[in-house]
Amino acid sequence: MLDFDTCNDARLRRDPAFDGVFFTAVRTTMIYCRPVCPVKPPLTKNVNFYSSAAAAERAGYRPCLRCRPETAPFSPAWNGSRSTVERALKLIADGALDEAGVDALAERLGIGSRHLTRLFARHVGASPLQTAQTMRIGRAKRLLDETSLPMTDVAAKAGFGSVRRFNAVFSRLYGRPPSSLRRPAP
């Protein structure tokens, strides 16, 4: 956290370089703001500074309705729909679509499956299922390169429901069966 004088100077100048770096809490109103807030600056003796919106809220302050500090740069709200897609990608990487469908993933994210598909089209350029399949193939390729596991184990660990599906997807993408990419044992 920056020192009091640096934060106070940035607040009084409404310096956009500090937007999202700290938050100004006003003791007399119990409201916290971003340093770029357009309201009349409060007296210096009435302010505290916090490094995050969550810290200000934990101290009992509520967000300003004018500058909306909960949407400051680098917050999930500021990232908008990209945050939802990033969360979905993490869940997919952890295998969320290996056993359940897009509907279940969307429900976990608190949105509809059609909206999730639209977000993926906008931010990723592929559907959630296509993304999951690409991640599965990547896991399978790593397992083929780095282990000597049997093909059934590679398919299962990569997230494929069956060896037949694994072979079909792999052959379609690489133009050859997965066993042809396996490195010979030394």
User: Given 7, 26, 33, 92, which residue is catalytic?
Assistant: 33
Known catalytic residue at 7:
no
Residues near 129 by beta carbon (within 8 Å), at least 6 away in sequence: 97, 102
Mean pLDDT over 113-137 rounds to: 85
What's the fold here for domain 130-179?
Answer: Arc Repressor Mutant, subunit A (1.10.10)
For residue 51, give the nearest of 82, 30, 37, 72 by alpha carbon.
72
Type of residue at 94 = D
Q: pLDDT grade, residue 6 (50/70/90)? A: very high
* Amino acid 42: pLDDT: 93
CB atoms within 10 A of CB 150: 10
Candidate list 10, 21, 31, 37, residue with the active-site label: 37
**Token code pair at residue 171:** 């052959």
* 40 neighbors 29 (Cβ within 8 angstroms): no
* Interatomic CA distance for residues 114 and 116, integer angstroms: 5
Is 186 a residue whose pLDDT tops 80? no
Active site annotation includes 37: yes
pTM for the structure as a whole: 0.55
CATH class of 4-76: alpha beta
pLDDT in tens, 21-65: 899 999 999 999 999 999 999 999 999 999 888 888 888 998 888
CA–CA dist 131, 30 (Å, integer)? 45
Q: Of the listed 21, 56, 67, 143, which one is catalytic?
A: 67
Q: What is the tens place of the pLDDT at every residue in 150-174?
A: 888 888 888 888 889 888 888 888 7
Between CA 132 and CA 137 the distance in angstroms is 9
Band of pLDDT at residue 10, cut at 50, 70 and 90: very high
Please, what is the average pLDDT of the chain? 84
The pLDDT tens digits of the residues spanning 75-88 come to 655 566 777 888 88
CB 176, CB 165: distance < 8 Å: no
Contact status, residue 106 vs residue 116, Cβ threshold 8 Å: yes
